[in-house]
A and B are shown apart, each in its own frame.
Chain A
Amino acid sequence: MQGPLIDTLARRGVTRRTFLKYCATLASMMALPPSVGRAMAEAMAAAKRPSVIWLPFQECTGCTESITRSHSPTIEGMIFDMVSLDYQETLMAAAGHQAEEARHAAMKENHGKYLLIVDGSIPLGIDGAYSCIGGRSNLDILKEAAEGAAAIVAMGSCASFGGIPKANPNPTGAVSVSDIVKDKPIVNIPGCPPIPVVMTGVLAHYLTFGSLPELDAQGRPKAFFGETIHDRCYRRPFYDQGKFAKTFDDEGARQGWCLFELGCKGPVTHNACATVKWNGGTSWPVESGHGCIGCSEPDFWDGGGFYKALSVPADPLKIGAAAAVAGAAAGVAVSFANRAKKKAAKAAHETTTLDDLEK
């Protein structure tokens, strides 16, 4: 950091208190020691804002929309104070050649240093003609941009795992970023879309330490994807008591009973919805009466139906003192059952694909 932190902040119209508060909150959310909050503040107030290049491939713009809903930091706070967002098609003023020139200039000037964000999957069918920008395939553009990137953020389930374009029968041959790029640090931030604070939290971590946070086996930051929705769900006590809503507006639904029998995928879904909630802590899917659809897990689109219960839960009439343990055990069993189902579905799909190709 150049110069006293407070001067830098004041010059940018940010109050010291607000900024430190944000950094401290973020550090605690990511289970980092309190001193890290200050380090984050200093890194984010650095004299030159780090270059960020955001490439949109087979996407719906939901991930971009989601990050504009971030309450802390705000999108305008990020653009003006934290990063230099040098290419972002939805927000940038320039178009056509001027937009492409801006991207190339940023890539050249910050070669080896810029952070690359990708949303959307990459189609490999028909030489990439299923998705082109400026007459070039997504694959071509990704390879070029990845080469000079310091690290890559796969934003959303499409970039992380292939997402909806990859759902059976994957008509365009869609793949994820990590299917293509093998020689760069990649963090997956899945979710359809991801929670804004998860997006911004990972960015803040990267800006502070110059490295990605600790990741799980799926390449997801453990701080946000370490637990299941079910683990932290406010309706969990009803699951343990065997109280389940049977339709979307019966007495159980109005009492906030567990949505397991209506198909909730909370027990097999790793994400932070149940703790950080959505849209400034207003609500989240289960609180608003719909089961979790599992949108941050790989291949959740082919998981067997959003309203099919994962398995038959414990009989509500036989609840005893060990209900909580039984519930937890059922959850684990369900998790394995679902994985098996997914595997079977995937295998069936692969068979179909090969059969068709043989014809």
Chain B
Amino acid sequence: MSTAQRVVVDPITRIEGHLRIEAETDAAGKITSAYSAGTMVRGIEIILKGRDPRDAWAFAQRICGVCTLVHGIASVRSVEDALHRAIPSYSIPQNAELIRNLMIAAQFVHDHVMHFYHLHALDWVDVVSALKADPKATSELAQSLSSYPRSSPGYFADVQKKVKTFVEQGQLGIFANAYWGHPAYKLPPEANLMAVAHYLDALAWQRDVVKLHAIFGGKNPHPNFVVGGVPSAISVHTTGGGQGATALNMVGLQTVANVIKQMRDFVDQVYVPDTLAIAGFYKDWASRGEGLGNFLSFGDLPSKGFWDTDSYLIPRGVILNRDLSTIHPINLDADNEIQEYVSHSWYKYSQGDAQGLHPFRGETELAYTGPKPPYEHLDVDQKYSWLKSPRWQGHAMEVGPLARVLMLHASGNAQARELVGMTLKTLDVPVDALFSTLGRTAARTLESKILADAMQGWFDQLIANIKAGDVRTFNDQYWEPSSWPKHMQGVGLMEAPRGGLSHWLVVDDGKISNYQAVVPSTWNAGPRDALGQPGAYEAALQDNHVMHDPKQPIEILRTIHSFDPCIACAVHVTDPDGEELVQVKVK
């Protein structure tokens, strides 16, 4: 490296959606400024306007097929919250809350495991190096880490043979043209082979554990939901239904029980030990990618209903400047707390682009001012993304697993404290190591353990309710929009795998008059705001370290992947007045 340069990584692969990173490096190869750009928009919130709010979940769910249920749940919660604000006695049955908790937690564990093995691992694991491993030594390594039953020498020899044949055929497919042999890869061949084996095992595991979603929601991806509860009627006590009546019978419940066990086993025997083992070779990344140091969580997983925030497993709050001694409360309705900016986003505000707007009063007009494609560079001094910039009291915030684990830790959750303590001790790193690329990745693993364990309690409660004759899953009061107040508004909050999610809904005469989704990856991947403050990705990339070779941007991938980007989620537009209709011309 001799001169400063602009590094462009587009597409960022192994993520959901279309993300572009532009980074300016100094002569040494250190990133001085990073810019995160979402390059795809569909306008789902424009499409939602004027529709039946009960239908909204299906549209909103298609924001993302990876975190496939979160927008569905946030959407039905937004309608239920609007009803609850208007009619305080309105609630949904406990069985529906338990089923939603099980579905949410299953989504987290499924999503986190797939992220670790299929999206993130190839940043740390050199597939080609696995060919040099001794299967017997790999077996010994694996058995020293956990009691996973598939750790025999023959098993690793088979996997190695499979990879060897594949490589020798010369058709590398999804593994072609990657960064194999790059000096940033630090794992010994045996650890690489173990990780490749678990990459394949995790693929097999994930298609089995989604059966939980299929039982309750009929399918995965994109399981079904309903405003007022869940659609899956319980047919356990039913006689005469014929042909199994519904999926939620004894066989279905047994499938759910099996999935919970499979999830807990895989997290305990594979995911947690692999994370710790791999992290041990990358301790230098415990002081890279530190990011903003501000964290926000809306909290989730209620035991006494959505409106009793004290009953949440994951607490709500804000942590500022890495100060874990103070959890700041969030006032959802205050005009000056949660706001979105469009100073660097391809939208236009009627009162000027410098101000922030609260989502209930949010306005948006698609206003592309970027270069006409094809283009080499975006004009990062002007507008450069389809993502907006959400802020809390003017602060840029990081959301996601690290925010939640910190919130659990700061609020005194015993299991979280034990797991964090164990991780820091095993890796022999200080508490500050949490605020890093490695810390973000480890937090994702630790919360998977907490949630997989919690699933058993919700399942046991569901079974106890059914035994006691409580099979209610749906509240049909106020089902018809004709029974609703003329005007109402509500916010559906939840913690999604990638962080705090909020859907803001305004209803007039039974139709959607405004719908706005403020999404985890909007907080994390959004561009600079009116004050020029970078978003979470941008701040984390400006980490004062030198890239080995800016032409092979593995360092950028590591830090960006530690956030688990979901960009189709992050791009959202609502437009109360001036939606743009373009003429469809087939060229």
Contacts and interface: CB of A to CB of B under 8 A. Distances in A.
Indicate, yes or no, whether A interacts with B.
yes
Interface of A: 11-13, 48-49, 51, 56-66, 68-71, 74-76, 79-80, 83-86, 88-102, 105-106, 123-137, 139-140, 163-165, 167-175, 179-180, 192-193, 234, 237, 245, 247-250, 253-256, 273, 278-280, 282-290, 293, 301, 305-307, 352-353, 356-357
Interface in B569-587: 573, 575, 579-587
Q: Which 6 A-B pairs have the closest CB atoms?
A: A62-B65, A171-B43, A285-B218, A93-B178, A288-B218, A256-B245
B219 A131 contact: no
B41 A93 contact: no
A285 B243 contact: no
A75 B18 CA distance: 23
A83 B551 CA distance: 29
A288 B234 CA distance: 9
A303 to B, nearest CB: 10
A79 B174 contact: yes
A282 to B, nearest CB: 4
A85 B177 contact: no
Contact of A130 (B41, B211, B213, B217): B41
Nearest to B55: A306
Contacts of A51: 171
B549 to A, nearest CB: 12
B54 A133 contact: no
B233 A249 contact: yes
A130 B241 contact: no
B581 A85 contact: no
A65 B65 contact: yes
B586 to A, nearest CB: 5
B176 A248 contact: no
A180 B158 CA distance: 45
B62 A164 contact: yes
Interface stretch (B159-167, B426-434, B482-490, B514-522): B159-167
A47 to B, nearest CB: 8
Contact of B207 (A69, A96, A249): A69
Contacts of B175: 92-93
B219 A284 contact: yes
B171 A84 contact: yes
A193 B158 contact: no
Nearest to B228: A248
Interface in B433-480: 471-474, 476, 479
A134 B65 contact: no
Given A132-B18, A169-B581, A279-B207, A62 B222 contact: yes
Given A80-B162, A99-B11, A282-B214, A62 B62 contact: yes
B191 interface: no
B135 interface: no
Given A137-B373, A193-B222, A105 B47 contact: no
B375 A135 contact: yes
A156 B55 CA distance: 20
Contacts of A286: 218
Interface in B208-229: 208, 210-211, 213-224, 226, 228-229
Contact of B14 (A48, A58, A90): A90
14 contacts: A68-B206, A74-B203, A95-B9, A98-B178, A125-B582, A129-B373, A130-B368, A131-B40, A234-B244, A247-B476, A256-B243, A283-B218, A286-B218, A289-B246
A48 B231 contact: no
A86 B374 CA distance: 23
A234 B585 CA distance: 43
Interface residues of B, number: 123
B381 interface: no
A126 B11 contact: no
B425 to A, nearest CB: 33
Interface SS, B side: loop
B13 A95 contact: yes
Interface in B540-587: 551-553, 557, 568, 573, 575, 579-587
B235 interface: yes
Given A132-B39, A289-B232, 19 more contacts: A13-B161, A60-B63, A86-B174, A95-B14, A96-B8, A126-B368, A135-B373, A164-B42, A165-B44, A172-B582, A245-B233, A248-B228, A248-B476, A254-B471, A278-B220, A282-B247, A284-B218, A288-B216, A289-B248
A94 B178 contact: yes
Given A105-B177, A279-B207, A283-B218, A95 B373 contact: no
A96 B586 CA distance: 29
Contacts of B13: 89-90, 92-96, 99
B127 interface: yes
B148 to A, nearest CB: 18
Contacts of B282: none
A137 B479 contact: no
A164 B215 contact: no
A173 B42 CA distance: 9
B17 to A, nearest CB: 7
Interface string B350-389: 0000000000000000101010111110000000000000
Given A131-B41, A256-B235, A62 B12 contact: no
A65 B115 CA distance: 12
Contact of B581 (A63, A170, A179, A284): A170
B265 interface: no
A307 B54 contact: yes
A247 B479 CA distance: 9
A282 B66 CA distance: 20
Contact of B64 (A13, A60, A69, A273): A60
Contact of A134 (B10, B158, B200, B226): B10
A264 B12 CA distance: 40
A123 B568 CA distance: 15
Contacts of A65: 65-66, 68, 221
Given A94-B178, A288-B214, A71 B12 contact: no
A279 B158 contact: no
Contacts of B204: 74, 76
A198 B496 CA distance: 30
A353 B246 CA distance: 43
Given A279-B219, A283-B219, A131 B39 contact: yes
Contacts of B42: 58, 123, 130, 164-165, 171-172, 174
A299 B573 CA distance: 21
Contacts of A56: 18
B179 to A, nearest CB: 7
Contact of A60 (B213, B552, B568): B568
A156 to B, nearest CB: 9
Given A93-B122, A132-B18, A288 B372 contact: no
A134 B11 contact: yes
A171 B579 CA distance: 7
Given A65-B65, A280-B208, A307-B55, A169 B586 contact: no
A205 to B, nearest CB: 21
Contacts of A283: 214-215, 218-219, 247, 252
B93 to A, nearest CB: 8
Contacts of A97: 551
A170 B579 CA distance: 10
B46 interface: yes
A45 to B, nearest CB: 13
A96 B233 contact: no
Contact of A290 (B12, B93, B158, B224): B224
B14 to A, nearest CB: 7
Contacts of B586: 124, 175, 179-180
A269 B255 CA distance: 29
B118 interface: yes
